[in-house]
Amino acid sequence: MSEHVQTLVDAVALGSIYALMAVGIGLVFGVLRLVNFAYGQLIMAGAYALALTNDQPVLVSIALCFAVVLALSLAMEFAAFRPLRGASPTTMLVATFAISYLLQSIALVRFGAIGKIIVVIPKLSEPVTIGSVNIRWITIVTILVAIAVFTALTLLLTKTTIGLQMRAASIDPQTARLLGVRANAVITTAVLVSGVIAAIVAVILPMAVPERLLVGPDFALRETIIVLVGVVVGGIDRLLTATLGGFTMGLAVGLLAGFLPSSGTWPFTSSVYLDSAVFMLVIIVLLLRPEGLFVRGRQAALERV
Amino acid sequence: MDRRGLVAVLGPVFVLMVVGIVGSLGSVDPALEVEFRSALVSVAMVVALYVFVGNAGVVSFGHVSFVAVGAFAAGVMTIPVELKPTITPGLFSLLGDHSVGNAASLVLAAAVGGVFALLVGIPLMRLSGLAASIATFAVLGVTYNILNNWTKIGPGPLTLTTVPETTGLLQATLGAIAVVLVAFAYQRSRFGRKLRAAREDSAAARAAGIDVRRERLWAFALSGALSGFAGGLLVHLAGTLQARDVYLDLTFLTLAMLVVGGVGSLWGAVVGALAVSALDSFLLRAESGEIGVVNDLLGKPLWGGSRLVGVAIFMAVVLVLLPNGLTRGREFRLPRFRRGRGGPQEAAA
């Protein structure tokens, strides 16, 4: 029993991380219609910043991580997103795919293929026993951080002027501009908020996911692909459905990783085939609900984009 | 066929023949000949990708899966039967006890790629354009994961070796030309024209009675079959293959080639594949210190791994400056000295 609870809590934590990434991608998609495939490389850059400052005090290290990720986010906005504004969503997706590869290759040339270990707060990796269940501190912290981020984001989007403008721009950019919403301010805000979330993920991911203890050029790449697919499964047109899609993918990955046996000869039957099992579920869900798992009614009759 | 159409298809075919012939002249240096052959196989892969992406206007990140299944099918089935127990010990007996020849393996690769694309296309083509693009990653993920682990159908995490190296310059050239001819025949056919109409204006195409999903599915399956065929050429090129050779790096490289040349035209696919192959070969040689100019400029060979940096920068610059690629989405035309009647719009067909 207790190991089931443990698996469930771990899966919820993984879902929280994926949901954070999904909301970071979804925020930019909302205002720009741009799917940022290079989002994982923002997280990678933050992780390198952490790994290279292991000997510094934790707060300095984390501050540097935020600074690097935000600077890179702004650089992406000015060097790539702005020149591409108005291009088709397909062109922009391919362009961010190229940027992702560019950043990976630069990391490979600069830091090599061998991963660097990341030490943030070792204490958080220790387990805590609640009843008969052993949970690591980081699992609890992850879930709490995610709740805090979503609360803050909800307040930002509903209670502030810039948040209102962001929502307006994501529903109808042309009308929003006619009514005096400044496109550049809204987009830059969205990119920065999305960058802050990427930095938070960069700090949490190495502690929460044991395979991500080392940072290499392909850090967070697998997560990005799973989250992007999750965003589509949930429903890409709305921030809420996109985020729920990301969360569902994390939950599914966590639960399957916990319950699949570690060996098996046939595909989909062991944790070696975890990715296949998850993506097969995705394909089945898409077959049943092509408009998105959490989209109510058949809104997307014609292609919007 | 009208004259312009004839020129549009004969141009790329002629260019590919020239590449093949020049490659055979350079055969004094075997390393250079390999690069010509691999450029021609790249043309086959990129044109196969173009059949779907170019005509439907929907990007696919999953086509390398079809290349992968084609390559592994052709590779596993052409290893001599007596070597199979050492190279791929876990095979199903149906696969382990039989081998086929080079030509049959290419047909098999095309069939496997086409059937696989048709099956996964059924759910994927129900999605809208952008969602379909992202969902194709799921196909790539499943294919890579299974090929990399399941030893009953291939080498699993090991390397497939001792595949006969039958993709010489002749087979590479003829293979690339065959893919170009099929692609051209498709885009001039009733099906191709319907799909291109839907690409330009989905709502209007629907109103005219075109079933966009069905047309996309046919293109996806045909494109998958051609990708499988190209995968067959690929595995016979070097004689060895690993699952990770046909994963994200190749996906990026083939997409970069298509985008650089211009997604909208067959000529763009050919030009992009050749241009990026040339750049790639140049950077690879610069990394190993074979290009004197680079050595003099930097004082040392190019940093290891710069190759993908170069290709990615090239792709990003082309995307920002020339969103329609080097060919601007036009088919091949002979240079003209007097102004023709047709404007650039007309030539896009």
End-to-end CA distance of chain A: 47
Contact between A273 and B316 using a beta-carbon 8 Å cutoff: no
Which residues neighbour A115 within 8 Å (Cβ) at sequence distance 6 or greater? A214, A215, A216, A219
Nearest CA in chain B to A37: B134
A304, pLDDT greater than 60: no
Kindly indicate the confidence band of residue B349, based on its pLDDT and cuts at 50, 70 and 90: very low
Residue of A99, A228, A266 with shortest CB distance to B137: A228
The whole-number pLDDT of residue B150 equals 87
Q: What gap in Å lies between CA B103 and CA B111, rounded to an integer?
A: 13
Contact between B142 and A279 using a beta-carbon 8 Å cutoff: yes
ipTM of the complex: 0.86
Kindly indicate the confidence band of residue A297, based on its pLDDT and cuts at 50, 70 and 90: low
List the single best residue of B58, B137, B151, B213 to mutate versus A (max A Cβ within 10 A): B137
Place of tokens 């066929």: B1
Which residues neighbour B132 within 8 Å (Cβ) at sequence distance 6 or greater? B58, B60, B124, B125
Phi and psi at B60, nearest 5°, equal -120, 125
Number of H helices, E strands in chain A: 11, 4
Would you tell me how many other CB atoms lie within 10 Å of the CB of residue A50?
A: 25
The whole-number pLDDT of residue B152 equals 85
Kindly indicate the confidence band of residue B346, based on its pLDDT and cuts at 50, 70 and 90: very low
Lowest mean pLDDT among A269-273, B55-59, B265-269: A269-273
Q: What gap in Å lies between CA A277 and CA B338, rounded to an integer?
A: 60
Chain B residues 310-339 with CB within 8 Å of chain A = 311-313, 315-316, 319-320, 323
Contact between B127 and A91 using a beta-carbon 8 Å cutoff: no
Task: Enumerate the residues of chain A whose CB falls inside 8 A of the CB of residue B122.
Answer: 287
B347, pLDDT greater than 60: no
Q: What gap in Å lies between CA B65 and CA B23, rounded to an integer?
A: 29
Q: How far is A52 from chain B (nearest CA, A)?
A: 21
Which of B31, B42, B85 is CA-nearest to residue B251? Answer: B42
Nearest CA in chain A to B264: A91
Contact between B252 and A280 using a beta-carbon 8 Å cutoff: no
Instruction: Please state the rounded mean pLDDT for residues B322-344.
Output: 70
Q: What is the DSSP letter of A81?
A: I
Residue of B123, B149, B259 with shortest CB distance to A283: B123
pTM for the full predicted model: 0.89
Q: Could you tell me the CA-to-CA distances from A125 to A128, A142, A207, B119, B159 in Å, in that order?
A: 9, 12, 7, 44, 37
Residue of B59, B252, B304 with shortest CB distance to A101: B252
CB of B26 within 8 Å of a chain A CB? The answer is no
Q: How far is A258 from chain B (nearest CA, A)?
A: 18
Task: Enumerate the residues of chain A whose CB falls inside 8 A of the CB of residue B145.
Answer: 273-276, 279
Tell me what the pLDDT averaged over chain B comes to.
86
Residue of B120, B135, B313 with shortest CB distance to A102: B313
Contact between B319 and A225 using a beta-carbon 8 Å cutoff: no
Q: How far is A119 from chain B (nearest CA, A)?
A: 27
Q: Which residues pair with A116 in a beta bridge?
A: A215
How does pLDDT run across B63-90, given as a tens digit for each residue?
999 999 999 999 999 988 888 888 887 7
Q: What is the DSSP letter of A244?
A: H
Task: Enumerate the residues of chain B whose CB falls inside 8 A of the CB of residue A221.
Answer: 248
List the single best residue of B147, B249, B319 to mutate versus A (max A Cβ within 10 A): B319
Residue of B122, B130, B320 with shortest CB distance to A90: B130
Residue of B128, B137, B150 with shortest CB distance to A300: B128
Instruction: Please state the rounded mean pLDDT for residues B296-310.
Output: 76
CB of B303 within 8 Å of a chain A CB? The answer is yes
End-to-end CA distance of chain B: 13
Which of A232, A246, A222 is CA-nearest to residue A12? Answer: A246
Q: What gap in Å lies between CA B244 and CA B252, rounded to an integer?
A: 13
CA-based angle A116:A122:A126, to the nearest 5?
125
CB of B286 within 8 Å of a chain A CB? The answer is no
Residue A126, CB-side half-sphere exposure with 13 Å CA sphere:
4
Contact between B123 and A286 using a beta-carbon 8 Å cutoff: yes
Which of B115, B67, B37 is CA-nearest to residue B231? Answer: B67
Q: Which of A139-143, B30-34, B293-297 is predicted most confidently?
A: A139-143
Nearest CA in chain A to B120: A283
Task: Enumerate the residues of chain A whose CB falls inside 8 A of the CB of residue B301.
Answer: none
Kindly tell me the burial class for residue A114, based on how many C-beta atoms sit within 10 Å of its own C-beta (0-12, 13-18, 19 or more). Answer: exposed
Kindly indicate the confidence band of residue B27, based on its pLDDT and cuts at 50, 70 and 90: low
**Residue B330, both tokens:** 């036009």
**Residue B219, both tokens:** 């293109």
B340, pLDDT greater than 70: no
Residue of A102, A225, A267 with shortest CB distance to B316: A102
Q: What is the DSSP letter of A117?
A: E
Phi and psi at A136, nearest 5°, equal -80, 150
The four Cα atoms B39, B45, B49, B54 give a dihedral, to 10 degrees, of 40
Nearest CA in chain B to A272: B149
Kindly tell me the burial class for residue B249, based on how many C-beta atoms sit within 10 Å of its own C-beta (0-12, 13-18, 19 or more). Answer: middle
B342, pLDDT greater than 90: no
Give the DSSP letter string of B65-121: HHHHHHHHHHHHHHS-GGGHHHHSTT--HHHHT----HHHHHHHHHHHHHHHHHHHH
Would you tell me how many other CB atoms lie within 10 Å of the CB of residue A159?
A: 9
| Single-letter code of the amino acid located at B73 | A
Q: How far is B251 from chain A (nearest CA, A)?
A: 10
Q: Could you tell me the CA-to-CA distances from B19 to A246, B44, B170, B319, B325 in Å, in that order?
A: 47, 13, 11, 26, 21
More confident residue, A184 or A197: A197
Task: Enumerate the residues of chain B whose CB falls inside 8 A of the CB of residue A40.
Answer: none
Residue of B120, B133, B256 with shortest CB distance to A93: B133
Would you tell me how many other CB atoms lie within 10 Å of the CB of residue B19?
A: 22
In chain B, which residue ranges form alpha helices assigned H by DSSP?
3-25, 30-56, 63-78, 84-87, 93-96, 102-124, 129-147, 169-188, 190-200, 202-207, 212-238, 248-261, 266-287, 292-298, 306-321, 344-347
Q: What gap in Å lies between CA A67 and CA A227, rounded to an integer?
A: 24
Asked whether the beta carbons of B185 and B21 are under 8 A apart, the reply is no
A273, pLDDT greater than 50: yes
Kindly indicate the confidence band of residue A302, based on its pLDDT and cuts at 50, 70 and 90: very low
How does pLDDT run across A144-193, given as a tens digit for each residue?
999 999 999 999 999 999 999 988 888 888 888 888 888 888 999 999 99
Interhelix angle A221-234/A2-32, nearest 10 degrees:
80
Asked whether the beta carbons of A69 and A10 are under 8 A apart, the reply is no
B301, pLDDT greater than 90: no
Q: Could you tell me the CA-to-CA distances from A220 to A48, A216, B11, B313 in Å, in that order?
A: 12, 9, 44, 22
Q: Which residues pair with A128 in a beta bridge?
A: A135
Asked whether the beta carbons of A169 and A183 are under 8 A apart, the reply is yes
Task: Enumerate the residues of chain B whose CB falls inside 8 A of the CB of residue A305.
Answer: 128-130
Which of A218, A72, A227, A76 is CA-nearest to residue B249? Answer: A218
Q: What gap in Å lies between CA B148 and CA B246, rounded to an integer?
A: 10
Q: What gap in Å lies between CA B234 and CA B228, rounded to an integer?
A: 10
Kindly indicate the confidence band of residue A74, based on its pLDDT and cuts at 50, 70 and 90: very high
